[in-house]
Amino acid sequence: MSDSSANLVSDPVLAEEVQLHRALGPLHLTLIGIGATIGAGIFVIAGNVAAEHAGPAVLLSFVIAATGCFFAALCYAELAAMIPQAGSAYTYTYATMGRFMAWFIGWNMVLEFGMSASTVAAGWSGYFLNLLNQLGIDYPPGWANAPIAGTGITDLHFTGAVMNLPAAIMMLLITWILVVGITESARFNAVMVAVKVGIIALVILFGLPHIHEANFHPFIPENTGVRGHFGISGVLAASATIFFAYVGFETVSVGAQETKNPERDVSISILAALGVCTLLYVLMSAVLLGITDYHLLDVPDPVSFALARDPNLKWLVFPVNIAAIAGLISVAFGSMYGQSRVFYGMARDGFLPPAFASVHPKFRTPHVCTIIVGVVGAAIAAIFPLDILADLVSIGTLCAFIAVCVGIMILRITAPKRPRKFRTPFVWFVAPAGILVCGTMMFSLSLGTWVRLLVWTALGLLIYFVYGIRHAAPSKWSVSDES
């Protein structure tokens, strides 16, 4: 079978080998999507990019990022209904563009999911320390910050800190939860989502009446002469970074192989999660920017910081810290869940050693790859700062989204009559629009981020040509109009 062939009919041998537990319904999936999305975007990233890139126009940045996500989500929904297998964009790319492109996208999804969990963990520690401070507990800052800082190519430097220990511990805790079972993990996630969404709703409800209109003027601050530092280029740069905050909805499609009715439930859950998250992002950001001067928000815990400055809202600081701690844990949970399932899919196809595809006989989870992802992610969270990690997540995600938009167009040509339980509407507008919006955001990221992507890609190509190309199984799907 040729490299470019793709078979949308599952291999019966593969079906016998798969042992993942089909336990998830549409509510579970939607909550996983919301849990994996609502977190750093609200509690950390919005304040940071407002202060550094866009000012009050960060609201527009959220809309731009959401638009790109919406186009991609419509394409994801159709592919998820047609190819209900673990792996998300990696699997869809394998089915439409062949072995090499599947590896390229799968390797970039390591940036998307693996780095996302580490990014969230780095942001989580700021709220955790704020909570400890409120409880009168002193924690040494040298063990709560990244030892490396800097966002460009030449400005990386050591900070004097030892490591971000709380972030590492949080990652290892989530690893244990993911290993013990998908049902238990889904219940844990549902509790975390309920806590954070409830408290976010409180902040929106009580914060909206205290917005100061003057804080939104000028809405788009004048560019300082540096690309990406305010002005239109700043809005686009902010949208590219903020894109990181939306990646959670893709986690829904990663869980297709553990879903009771993936052909229907995955599509519904993807769109539901994206809609809820976009609404909460915009409303929460409006409150954050409306009660505080955006110049002051470049801090580890911008929401708590902003609320503490308003006497009428100061009482919300403690519950917000609780929501941030619970919320960011659920985001990291979703990201690590996604990463382990992508590794599982790649190992199942022979791109990675068979150990990554092993399933625990009792818990029925891919325990080996989950533990590896957790340990490596904990080390990254302990060492690197949030801003470097967030941009890497964004560029990896944008690559995956573009691949999905291309893939959906390929299948409309190669298999136009194949039954589709969900059809992307206006596909010849939606898919190219998704490519255009996502591509624009990619090119708005810094040169340093592109250099790191090239280094990461080179490492991935080395692994592919040394191991993957020799061990990858023939494509398990073939494109046809036969059901």
Parse the chain into domains and list their residue ranges.
26-147+158-471
- Whether 42 has a pLDDT exceeding 60, the answer reads yes
pLDDT at 320 over 80: yes
Percent of the chain at pLDDT > 90 equals: 11
184 — pLDDT class (breaks 50, 70, 90) = low
Q: CA–CA separation, 81 vs 103, rounded Å?
A: 22
Inform me whether the pLDDT recorded for 229 exceeds 70. Answer: yes
Q: What pLDDT sits at residue 276?
A: 86
Mean pLDDT, to the nearest integer, of 247-251?
Answer: 70
Place 287 in a pLDDT band, splitting at 50, 70 and 90: very high
CA distances from 140 to 119, 171, 290, 324 (A): 21, 20, 33, 21
The b-or-e profile of 70-87 (16+ CB within 10 A means b, else e) is bbbbbbbbbbbbbbbbbb
Which residues does 14 contact at the CB level (< 8 Å), separation at least 6? 348, 476
Mean pLDDT of 323-350: 80
Please state the rounded mean pLDDT for residues 148-171: 76
Q: How many angstroms separate the CA atoms of 40 and 185, rounded?
A: 20
Residue among 437, 450, 448 nearest 61 (CA): 437
Residue 209 has what pLDDT? Answer: 92
Which tens digit of pLDDT belongs to each residue from 104-126?
888 877 777 777 778 778 778 87
Write down the pLDDT at residue 179.
Answer: 84
Give the position of tokens 């709703």.
Answer: 201
Rounded CA separation 61/50 (Å): 10
- The predicted structure's pLDDT at residue 428: 94
> Does residue 411 carry a pLDDT above 50?
yes
CA atoms within 13 A on the CB side of 80: 33
| The CA-based dihedral angle spanning residues 332, 199, 237, 404, taken in that order and rounded to the nearest 10 degrees | 50
Q: How far apart are CA 423 and CA 78, in angstroms?
A: 5
CB-based contacts of 480: which residues, under 8 Å, 6+ apart? 7, 8, 9, 415, 418
Q: Average pLDDT of the chain?
A: 79
Determine which of 8-12, 104-108, 279-283, 455-459 has the lowest per-residue pLDDT on average. 8-12
Whose tokens are 């490519």? That residue is 435
Mean pLDDT lowest among 122-131, 151-160, 460-469, 472-481: 472-481
Looking at per-residue confidence, does 454 or 250 come out higher? 454
d(CA 73, CA 401): 9
Segment 434-441 shows an average pLDDT of 89
Q: What is the structure's pLDDT at 3?
A: 41
Tokens 């540096």, located at residue: 226
The whole-angstrom separation of Cα 407 and Cα 409 is 5
Average pLDDT for 122-137: 81
Check whether 21 has a pLDDT greater than 60.
no
In sequence order, the β-bridge partners of residue 361 are: none
What is the model's pTM? 0.70
Q: Looking at residue 205, what is its pLDDT?
A: 93
- Distance (Å, whole) CA 24 – CA 259: 4
d(CA 30, CA 324): 19
Assign 3-class secondary structure to the chain.
CCCCCCECCCCHHHHHHCCCCCCECHHHHHHHHHHHHCCHHHHHHHHHHHHHHHHHHHHHHHHHHHHHHHHHHHHHHHHHHHCCCCCCHHHHHHHHHCHHHHHHHHHHHHHHHHHHHHHHHHHHHHHHHHHHHHCCCCCCHHHECCCEECCCCCCCEECCCCCEHHHHHHHHHHHHHHHHCHHHHHHHHHHHHHHHHHHHHHHHHHHHHHCCHHHHCCCCCCCCCCCCCCHHHHHHHHHHHHHHHHHHHHHHHHHHHHECCHHHHHHHHHHHHHHHHHHHHHHHHHHHHHHCCHHHCCCCCHHHHHHHCCCCCHHHHHHHHHHHHHHHHHHHHHHHHHHHHHHHHHHHCCCCCHHHHCCCCCCCCCHHHHHHHHHHHHHHHHHCCHHHHHHHHHHHHHHHHHHHHHHHHHHHHHCCCCCCCCCCCCHHHHHHHHHHHHHHHHCCCCHHHHHHHHHHHHHHHHHHHHHHHHHCCCCCCECCCCC
pLDDT at 9 over 90: no
Residue with the larger pLDDT of the pair 151 and 450: 450
Q: Are strands 157-158 and 148-149 parallel, antiparallel or unpaired?
A: antiparallel
Strand partners, 397: none
| 247/276: higher pLDDT | 276
φ and ψ at residue 351, rounded to 5 degrees:
-75, -25
Per-residue pLDDT, 315: 92
Q: Which phi and psi angles does 148 have, rounded to 5°?
A: -120, 140
Residue pointed to by tokens 């800190």: 161
Pick the CATH number of 26-147+158-471 from 1.10.8.10, 1.10.10.350, 1.20.1740.10, 3.40.47.10: 1.20.1740.10
Do 449 and 240 contact (CB within 8 A), yes or no? no
- Rounded CA separation 11/18 (Å): 11
Q: CA angle, 300 as apex, 298 and 304 as ends, to 5°? A: 95
Q: pLDDT at position 1, please?
A: 36
> What is the arithmetic mean of pLDDT over 262-290?
83
Partners of residue 24 on adjacent β-strands: 259
Q: Is the pLDDT of residue 263 over 90?
A: no
pLDDT grade for 14, boundaries at 50, 70 and 90: very low
CA distances from 327 to 124, 200, 299, 301 (A): 9, 10, 18, 13
Burial of residue 355 (number of CB atoms within 10 Å: 0-12, 13-18, 19+): exposed
Of 152 and 472, which is predicted with more confidence?
Answer: 472
Between 226 and 21, the higher pLDDT residue: 226
